[in-house]
Amino acid sequence: MPSDPIPGRSLVTRRAVADIVRTAVLGSYGVTGFAASLPERLLAAVGLATPGLDVRLGDGVDVELDLTVAYGVPIAEVGRQVDSAVRYALRHALDLEVTHLVIHIDGLRFAPAGAPPDAVHDDPGAVRSSDLADSGTDVA
DSSP codes of every residue in 105-135: EEEEE--TT-SPPS-PPPPTTPPPHHHHHHH
Most confident of 11-15, 89-93, 112-116, 128-132: 89-93
Q: Give residue limits of the domains in the chain.
A: 14-110
Q: Whole-angstrom Cα distance, residue 70 to residue 93?
A: 28
What local confidence, expressed as pLDDT, does residue 140 receive? 41
Q: Are 30 and 73 in contact (CB under 8 A)?
A: yes
Give the model's confidence band at 44: pLDDT under 50 very low, under 70 low, under 90 confident, else very high. Answer: confident
- What average pLDDT does the segment 45-73 reach? 87
Average pLDDT over all residues of the chain? 80
- What average pLDDT does the segment 67-93 reach? 93
Q: Which helix (H) or strand (E) holds 101?
A: strand 98-109
Please work out, in degrees rounded to the nearest 5, the angle formed at the alpha carbon of residue 93 by the alpha carbons of 91 and 99: 30
Say yes or no: domain 14-110 is CATH 3.30.70.1350: yes
φ/ψ of 107, rounded to 5, equals 180, 165
Question: In the predicted model, is pLDDT for residue 9 greater than 60?
Answer: yes
Give the model's confidence band at 107: pLDDT under 50 very low, under 70 low, under 90 confident, else very high. Answer: confident
- What average pLDDT does the segment 99-108 reach? 91
